[in-house]
Structure 1
């Protein structure tokens, strides 16, 4: 039986209403949970300060709660300790009434509200982010601005815990908006320019790549590794990027040219080219990229799309060299670097054998 368009429209309307209602209900539940965890965190914090509660008491508290409320989840000893961390990180951003402040044995959730300053900065975003996400952010950030950045991104782009961890490891906050570029001269629209600045990073952590030292001069090896791990690479780039192709073929005056990686950015509504360089940035790379972008805009770009953007992804760069290289080019370009592993903290250097020693031990 063929379904009428009107019937299908009704189905879609009902589906939309159900999903919207579920999302709203989940948001309300999450907000109440955050207030509950904040209140319990405050309770524990005060007990530790005033009555010198230790880890053993919290362990016993968790076990006794399980006995009182069989099947209770989320109140392990470690999670109760996280609630204290949550309270101590955000206590200045909540309003606690005097009636609660003067009571140590009563936890009244009705008397705890989000502060106006927190609402002004984050709106409803704070309560849309799960407790697990909040704790991951608190444990890996240092400033309020950094926390707010990751909370906003998590809520806006629906980051999973693994995606959030990836961005925290990559220090996305510190690297977003710091890309050496010529956007101020080449992107006329202010809104598009700001979006472009927020869409690219100064450095990308590509720790999923398996590249040996003797492969560092082979850009095809780097490209192949990225393509094989394209999902992880997209996570490093951000949620707005869609992969089109590697070695994308352009024909200009009967000659073939191949772009390393071609993407489309939904937020910017434009094509984005990544050219891969395993060594240090060189000024001549700009001329080649400018040519690619001109050809893309002429032959590939759709009429409704913004002009294309090019990113040269290299191992090393010097910003003054890039600054001089940008001059007199009319296409939007930027230069980023990549690293394939986290730098070992100084405190741990010398404690582990080097790569060669490890190889000998394994042999």
Structure 2
């Protein structure tokens, strides 16, 4: 009994120490980024006092780098000092940009959002790591930069995941079906999950599966790879998804049917059924998904939950087939393409324009 008590005490203290260390690391990180912003400000202000900026960049920064490195160690190379300078310039301009853009939102959202940005700009708070901001300052479009900053903080993206989401053009994919005001809201406030269509991307980028190296694969192999890389797939699906099961059987009239993947979305409080299709989408595929959705709505959905959403992932589809197979007021069944290789920016833009 004594040994059990000691083990329990050890575990409790270990958890407390881990939490304390994490808190210290977070505080140190935020302080460091804030300090780099201030260093950038000082460099810009000092630069503005001179007459020749090019000469300043070549001589002053080199000398400053050598002195700081001598006294404080690594982290103050000329290139990093230039990043601090750019960090200050980028986020000073962004503060002014955001104030103007939030004023264009509808009154209720404008009031809430302007208060948030006011606090942010007054204190210049930076919740992400310095590595994240080194990536963000290289995004020239302020809408796009703001979106990735919000989503990286909200979803706890690592730098690698931020780079992946940017390379797969997440902002562009989400903005594709939105009007001008919706795109502004998406950029300034991040992704909002308020209706079924908000969950859907087109296309989905599944380069993390490694299937691009395989000349051919079956639907079962695609499903297995998604299960093997479930954490990556959940990040690609977006916010609020929880995995329920694979090959979920439904039975009636002595017939058995199997749904490839079943998820639950906590934000919309509904089941999300996913069917995987190799090749081009057929109208029978949509009819099959309609049956799955109807079954879950009538047999599995609990009181207070919202209607089931069905998503068919296919390699190819025609919009006309989807349009005329589904009712005009459809808000439950969606069909999206998927890509098993990360396309070039040009190829992705061409795909989105289709």
Normalised to the residue count of structure 1, the TM-score between the two structures is 0.70
**Equivalent residues of 1:30, 1:128 under 8 A apart:** no
**Equivalent residues of 1:259, 1:292 under 8 A apart:** yes
Which residue of the partner structure matches residue 63 of structure 1? Answer: 66
Give the unaligned 5+ runs of structure 1: 2-13, 96-113, 181-191, 348-363
**Equivalent residues of 1:177, 1:200 under 8 A apart:** no
Query: Could you tell me how far 1:227 is from its partner in structure 2?
Result: 1.2
- Name the CA distance, whole Å, in 2 between partners of 1:295 and 1:242: 20
- Name the CA distance, whole Å, in 1 between partners of 2:321 and 2:76: 55
SS at match of 1:176: helix
**Equivalent residues of 2:193, 2:268 under 8 A apart:** no
Query: Could you tell me how far 1:271 is from its partner in structure 2?
Result: 1.0
Query: Which whole-Å deviations, capped at 9, do the CAs of 1:124-153 have from their partners, x for residues lacking one?
Result: 5663333332221232x3421111211221
Which residue of the partner structure matches residue 169 of structure 1? Answer: 167
Query: Could you tell me how far 1:309 is from its partner in structure 2?
Result: 0.6
Which residues of 2 match residues 48-59 of structure 1 at below 5 A?
Answer: 50-54=53-57, 58-59=61-62
- Measured at CA, do residues 29 and 175 of structure 1 come closer, stay the same or move farther in structure 2, by a change above 3 Å? same
Q: What CA RMSD, in Å, does the superposition of the two structures yield over aligned residues? A: 3.9
SS at match of 2:246: strand
**Equivalent residues of 1:270, 1:307 under 8 A apart:** yes
Which residue of the partner structure matches residue 224 of structure 1? Answer: 224
Normalised to the residue count of structure 2, the TM-score between the two structures is 0.71
Query: Could you tell me how far 1:59 is from its partner in structure 2?
Result: 4.5
Which residue of the partner structure matches residue 272 of structure 1? Answer: 272
Which residue of the partner structure matches residue 130 of structure 1? Answer: 129
Which residues of 2 match residues 238-277 of structure 1 at below 5 A?
Answer: 238-277=238-277
Query: Could you tell me how far 1:63 is from its partner in structure 2?
Result: 2.7
Task: Determine which structure has the larger helix proportion and give its number.
Answer: 2
Query: Which whole-Å deviations, capped at 9, do the CAs of 1:251-309 have from their partners, x for residues lacking one?
Result: 22332111111111111111111111121222222111110011112222232321111
Which residue of the partner structure matches residue 38 of structure 2? Answer: 36
SS at match of 1:208: helix
- Measured at CA, do residues 78 and 250 of structure 1 come closer, stay the same or move farther in structure 2, by a change above 3 Å? farther
Note if 1:312 corresponds to 2:312.
yes
- Name the CA distance, whole Å, in 2 between partners of 1:138 and 1:289: 43
- Measured at CA, do residues 35 and 87 of structure 1 come closer, stay the same or move farther in structure 2, by a change above 3 Å? closer
Which residue of the partner structure matches residue 150 of structure 1? Answer: 148
